[in-house]
Structure 1
Amino acid sequence: MFADQLTQEQRQVVFDLAANLAAADNDVSEEEIQYLKDFSDAYGIEFDLDKADLDINNALSLMDTKKARVITLQELIKLSYKDGHYGREEQEKVLLLAQKMGLNNTDFLMRIENWVRQGFDWVYEGEQMLEGDD
């Protein structure tokens, strides 16, 4: 997981932003909850979904390298795909966060989104190949 390359403080920001994003469409799916649980378990972060009062600008200030910002966007887009639907509200929120981090190059954002989608396709294809292999 690329989040291994972040500091613990930065991972907390990713979790907080992800929890905040998951609520963007007012419907936190089981898949999104599982993603957040897995992330919190993997990094020893308290599982708390109530991030409505999150100071986003302050949180984003901890993402002080391009690598941290790219990993953050990758994780947020990955969360958004978990329920099988990268909805408009989620896309707009990710775009806004990218702009606040100074990553408002549309082509670059599309590359990150394609990277995430290819990862999901890769997993799905592998699962399909292994299915029915009794």
Structure 2
Amino acid sequence: MFADRLTTEQRQAVFDLAVMLANADMDVSEEELGYLKTFSEAFGIEFELDKSQINLEETLRVFDSKRSKIILLQELIKLSYKDGHFGEEEQDKVFMIAQKIGMNDSDLFLKIERWVRQGADWLFEGEQMLEDGY
């Protein structure tokens, strides 16, 4: 997990933003809940799903390096894929966040999205092989 390269404050912000993103389509899936639970347990973050009071600009301010911004986008896109697809509402939210943190280079955004998609495909293929008994 690349989030282990973030500070505690940045991990909390990733979690808060991920919760906001999971609620973007008004339907938090079991897979998204699993991601949030795993992330919170891995980093000792309170599992709280009401982030309606979060100030987006203030939350994004903790991402002060290009590395931390790329990891943030990677984590948010990874969450978006948990329900099987990177939906339009989710894409719009993630791209809006990318713009707010100064990472609105569409080529970089697509490169991060491709990285996440390939990782998700890799995990899926491995799970399928194990289930099929190979």
* TM-superposition CA deviations, 1:51-83 (whole Å, max 9, x none): 122101001100000000000000000000000
What residue number does 1:11 align with?
11
Matched residue SS, 1:116: helix
AA matched with 1:5: R
AA matched with 1:103: M
Correspondence 1:100 to 2:75: no
Matched residue SS, 2:86: coil
What residue number does 1:86 align with?
86
Matched residue SS, 1:47: coil
The TM-score normalised by the length of structure 1 is 0.97
What residue number does 1:109 align with?
109
Equivalence map 1:113-132=2 (5 Å) = 113-132=113-132
Correspondence 1:55 to 2:55: yes
AA matched with 1:101: I
Matched residue SS, 2:54: coil
What residue number does 1:67 align with?
67
Q: Give 1:106 shift.
A: 0.4
Alpha-carbon distance in 1 for matches of 2:30, 2:130: 24
Length, aligned pairs only: 134
Q: Give 1:109 shift.
A: 0.1
Deviates more, 1:120-129 or 1:59-68: 120-129
Alpha-carbon distance in 2 for matches of 1:127, 1:56: 36
CA RMSD of aligned residues (A): 1.0
Matched residue SS, 2:112: helix
Between the aligned residues of both structures, percent identity stands at 62
Alpha-carbon distance in 2 for matches of 1:119, 1:132: 20
* Structure 1: runs of 5 or more not aligned: none
Alpha-carbon distance in 2 for matches of 1:27, 1:130: 30
The TM-score normalised by the length of structure 2 is 0.97
* TM-superposition CA deviations, 1:93-122 (whole Å, max 9, x none): 000000000000001000000000000111
* Structure 2: runs of 5 or more not aligned: none
What residue number does 1:46 align with?
46
After superposing on structure 2, the runs of 4+ consecutive aligned residues of structure 1 that deviate more than 4 Å are none
